[in-house]
Amino acid sequence: MEKEPHHHPQNASQTHYTGPLDLDKTIDKLISGSALPQSDLEELLHAAKEMLRSESSLIEIKAPITVVGDIHGEISTLQEIFNVCGKPPFTNFLFLGDYINRGNHGIEVLCTLLAYKLKHRNRIHLLRGHSECRDWAKKFGFHDECIRKYDGHHIWQLFIELFPCFPIAAVI
């Protein structure tokens, strides 16, 4: 059972995404730990990049909000966070980065959050962590995950282009 929101601004949860992806089906697939078809992943990353580029590098967020730290590619951790705290739009979230590396599902973790961000732009906020850079992502396994699951270099490059678009700080 999902929790009711403490604060639900009018129209805050409406999606701005108008592309071909069914975001609900995309989220369901990703949160289960399943990979998206490459064309869907490419669409998601392009849409997320455009949305994130439109945000300030310092975002201002109103409380109440659930602040979440490092997930590091552990889809079971993300599932548990949503089970305990509720999912967007019923809970507002600020994720502090470090979505990838070390775990086996960095792509699915990050893309689940990106899909939620596209669907509920004002209810979920994603900052850039130190893992979301070329050197750390290559050193700690995300590059290998991209190669293993997809046409690696192309997908890897899309993520590398996405990382600098994330906001770097938030004021609550």
pLDDT above 90 for 52: yes
- Please state the pTM of the whole predicted model: 0.90
pLDDT computed for residue 78 by the predictor: 98
pLDDT above 70 for 53: yes
- Count of other CB atoms within 10 angstroms of residue 20: 9
List, in sequence order, every beta strand (DSSP E) within the chain.
58-60, 66-68, 93-95, 124-126, 169-171
pLDDT computed for residue 17 by the predictor: 86
- Beta-bridge mates of residue 170: 59
pLDDT above 90 for 18: no
Lowest-confidence range among 113-127, 139-153, 155-169?
139-153
